[in-house]
Chain A
Amino acid sequence: MSLRENLASETIASLGQRAPIDIDPRATVGEAISLLQDHSIGCVVVTEDHRPVGIFTERDVLRRVLSNDVSLGTPVADVMTSPATVASHDEKIGGVIQTMVNGGFRHIPVVDESGILKTVVSVKRIVEYVVEHFPAAVFNLPPEPGRLSASREGA
Chain B
Amino acid sequence: MQCPFCACENMDGVDACVRCKVDLSDFTGSVEESDIERALLNRPLETIATKDYIEAPLEWSVGDTVRQWNEGGHHCAVVVDHGKLVGIFTERDVLRKLAGQWEKCRQDDISQHMTANPLTLDHDDPIALALNQMMIGGYRHIPIMRAKKLCGIVSVRDILSYYLSSRISSIPETI
Q: Do A and B actually bind?
A: yes
Interface residues in chain A, defined as those with a beta carbon under 8 Å from any beta carbon in chain B: 2-4, 7-8, 30, 33-34, 36-37, 40, 42, 58-59, 61-63, 65-67, 72, 92, 94-95, 97-98, 100-101, 104, 106, 123-124, 126-128, 130-131, 133-134, 136-143, 147-155
Interface contact A127-B160, CB-CB below 8 Å: yes
Query: With A4-B36, A101-B164, A149-B119 known to touch, is A127 a contact of B135 (CB < 8 Å)?
Result: yes
Residue among A8, A66, A126, A143 making CB contact with B175, cutoff 8 Å: A8
Interface contact A123-B40, CB-CB below 8 Å: no
Query: With A33-B95, A98-B175, A153-B88 known to touch, is A141 a contact of B160 (CB < 8 Å)?
Result: no
* Chain B 85-122 interface residues, beta-carbon cutoff 8 Å to A: 88-97, 99-100, 102, 106, 115-121
Interface contact A137-B138, CB-CB below 8 Å: no
Interface contact A154-B115, CB-CB below 8 Å: yes
Query: With A62-B66, A67-B66 known to touch, is A153 a contact of B99 (CB < 8 Å)?
Result: no
Residue among A62, A63, A123 making CB contact with B157, cutoff 8 Å: A123
Interface contact B33-A148, CB-CB below 8 Å: no
* Chain A residues within 8 Å of B37, by CB: 3, 133-134, 137
Interface contact A94-B67, CB-CB below 8 Å: no
Interface contact B5-A155, CB-CB below 8 Å: no
Report whether over half of chain A's contact residues are helix, strand or loop; otherwise say mixed.
Answer: helix
Interface contact B171-A124, CB-CB below 8 Å: no
* Chain A residues within 8 Å of B137, by CB: 148, 152
Total CB contacts across the A-B interface at under 8 A: 169
* Chain A residues within 8 Å of B160, by CB: 97, 100-101, 123, 126-127, 130
- Within the complex, the shortest CB–CB distance from B152 to chain A, in Å, comes to 16
Interface contact A140-B175, CB-CB below 8 Å: no
Interface contact A147-B157, CB-CB below 8 Å: no
